[in-house]
């Protein structure tokens, strides 16, 4: 009996899955991420002051510029001169001006002005040096950027899910205190909808989800996958399909509109969503929640409703509520900040 207890044998901390988890520049996952456009902010939350943000382990500053302040720039956080934070900079017509000695940077990082630096060396420096900057596209309430090599920049992606008639899409975000892969993993994991979202709590989405589904997975292209869960609900057969395009684009069958109890054909995705790493141990989901007759009902188009579509419950809850009715945040944050190499206690 005594030999059965394996606490001591397994007490060494497990190694992090470095190849997948790390997203700084130069890491395998970090470089892969840096070949795609990602949302990094909600347009209406960017006011007249610059905002410091952290994306893919890089500290950046997002700001408005232009005469109407209707254009958006994204630059490295620290000024080239003495590293003052441009979070305290001034938004101007042509770019952002550092608060400390007034250097003015264009949105592409060009140094436009270096007050008090009049030497030829300074002029040469101005022409040869740039602040780090990234291109920005504002689209349907989200601000996107591309952080990879300019020569490999892909076209900005507009999926069919962005342009359906009759759909109301509302931008939202949800922070998670864990690595990106732990959040992404759930999209092709229909088993957790049966247990986490139904049987182990209360029906967070619908009664129909309590049934165990028959699972199937499809590889459409090299980085594009679909997963289906087919459930028998009364006399109906309910097929719920989720979608993943690597590294981080996800869509899922409606959360509340369809429950398998009544006939409903070809519903659309409840959200159109990206899992964006802040750093190795923090992430933010940026997404549109989709509403309409083939999407989720408009009554869920509230802050709370969008959070429920995102993860089954509202985000701001007491610890006791989280324990009684755990949702996606509890499941994926509870794993710890970094994904480990799973061994399940076996000696491989
Ligand atoms: S630190 Fe920015 S201008 Fe000097
Ligand atoms: Fe979930």
Per domain, the residue ranges of the chain are: 37-152, 167-333
> pLDDT-based confidence at 288, cuts 50/70/90?
very high
Distance 60 CA to ligand 1 centre (A): 16
Q: What is residue 154's three-state secondary structure?
A: coil
Q: How far apart are the first and last CA of the chain?
A: 23
pLDDT single digits (tens) 197-241: 999 989 999 888 999 999 999 998 889 999 999 999 989 999 999
Ligand 1 centroid vs 134 CA: distance in angstroms? 20
C-beta of residue 53 within 8 angstroms of C-beta of residue 173: no
What's 37-152's CATH class? mainly beta
Ligand 1 atom nearest 84 alpha carbon? 1
Specify whether the CB–CB gap between 78 and 67 falls below 8 A.
no
Q: Which residue's CA is the closest to the ligand 1 atom numbered 4?
A: 101
pLDDT number for residue 348: 44
Which residue shows structure tokens 């892909």?
Answer: 154
**In angstroms, what is the span from residue 188 Cα to ligand 2's centroid?**
10
Structure confidence at residue 187 (pLDDT): 95
Q: Which atom of ligand 1 is nearest to the CA of 86?
A: 2
Determine the pLDDT at residue 14.
82
Tell me the three state secondary structure of residue 288. strand
Distance, CA 299 to ligand 2 centroid (Å)? 20
- By most ligand atoms within 8 Å of CB, the mutation choice from 86, 98, 104, 129 for ligand 1 is 98
Cβ atoms of residues 309 and 287 within 8 Å: no
CA of residue 74 to ligand 1 center, whole Å: 17
Each residue's pLDDT tens digit, 290-309:
999 999 999 999 999 999 99
CA distance 230 to 162: 26
Nearest listed ligand to the Cα of residue 198:
2
Choices 3.30.530, 3.40.720, 2.30.29, 3.30.70: CATH for 167-333:
3.30.530
Q: What phi and psi, each to the nearest 5 degrees, are found at residue 191?
A: -60, -35
What are the beta bridge partners of residue 335? none
Q: Do residues 54 and 77 touch, judged by C-beta distance below 8 A?
A: no
Quick one: which atom of ligand 1 is closest to the CA of 99? 2
Residue 315 has pLDDT above 90, yes or no: yes
> CB 143: neighbour CB atoms within 10 A?
22
Provide the pLDDT confidence category of residue 121 given band limits of 50, 70 and 90: confident
What does each C-alpha distance from 293 to 123, 166, 167, 170, 262 come to in angstroms? 60, 8, 8, 15, 14
Ligand 1: list residues with CB < 6 Å: 79, 81-82, 84, 98, 100-103
Give the C-alpha distances (Å, rounded to integers) separating 111 from 127, 163, 220, 249, 348. 7, 38, 45, 35, 56
Ranges assigned E (strand) in 208-340:
214-221, 224-233, 236-245, 249-253, 269-279, 282-291
Q: Is 86 strand, coil or helix?
A: helix
* pLDDT tens digits for range 73-103: 999 999 999 999 999 999 999 999 999 999 9
State the ligand closest to the CA atom of 96: 1
């Amino acid at each position: 009996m005594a030999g059965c207890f394996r606490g001591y044998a397994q007490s060494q901390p497990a190694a992090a899955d470095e190849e997948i988890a790390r997203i700084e520049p130069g890491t395998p996952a970090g470089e892969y991420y840096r070949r795609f456009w990602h949302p990094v902010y909600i347009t209406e939350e960017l006011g007249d002051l610059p905002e410091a943000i952290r994306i893919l382990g890089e500290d950046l500053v997002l700001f408005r510029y232009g005469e109407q302040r209707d254009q958006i720039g994204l630059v490295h956080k620290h000024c080239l001169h003495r590293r003052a934070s441009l979070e305290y900079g001034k938004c101007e017509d042509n770019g952002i001006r550092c608060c400390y000695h007034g250097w003015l940077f264009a949105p592409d990082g060009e140094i436009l002005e270096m007050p008090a630096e009049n030497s030829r060396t300074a002029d040469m420096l101005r022409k040869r040096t740039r602040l780090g900057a990234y291109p920005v596209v504002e689209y349907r309430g989200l601000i996107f950027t591309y952080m990879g090599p300019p020569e490999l920049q892909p076209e900005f992606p507009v999926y069919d899910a962005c342009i359906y008639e009759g759909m109301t899409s509302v931008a939202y975000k949800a922070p998670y205190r864990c690595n990106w892969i732990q959040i992404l993993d759930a999209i092709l994991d229909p088993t957790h909808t049966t247990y986490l979202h139904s049987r182990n709590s209360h029906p967070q989405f619908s009664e129909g989800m309590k049934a165990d589904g028959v699972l199937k997975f499809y590889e459409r292209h090299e980085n594009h996958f679909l997963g289906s869960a087919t459930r028998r609900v009364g006399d109906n057969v309910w097929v719920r399909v989720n979608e993943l395009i690597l590294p981080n684009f996800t869509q899922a069958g409606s959360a509340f509109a369809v429950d398998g109890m009544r006939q409903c054909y070809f519903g659309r995705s409840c959200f159109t969503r990206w899992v964006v790493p802040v750093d190795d141990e923090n992430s933010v989901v940026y997404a549109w929640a989709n509403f309409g007759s083939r999407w989720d009902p408009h009554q869920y188009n509230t802050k709370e409703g969008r959070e429920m579509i995102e993860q089954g419950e509202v985000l701001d809850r007491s610890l006791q509520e989280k324990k009684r009715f755990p949702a996606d945040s509890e499941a994926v944050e509870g794993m710890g900040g970094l994904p480990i190499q799973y061994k399940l206690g076996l000696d491989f």
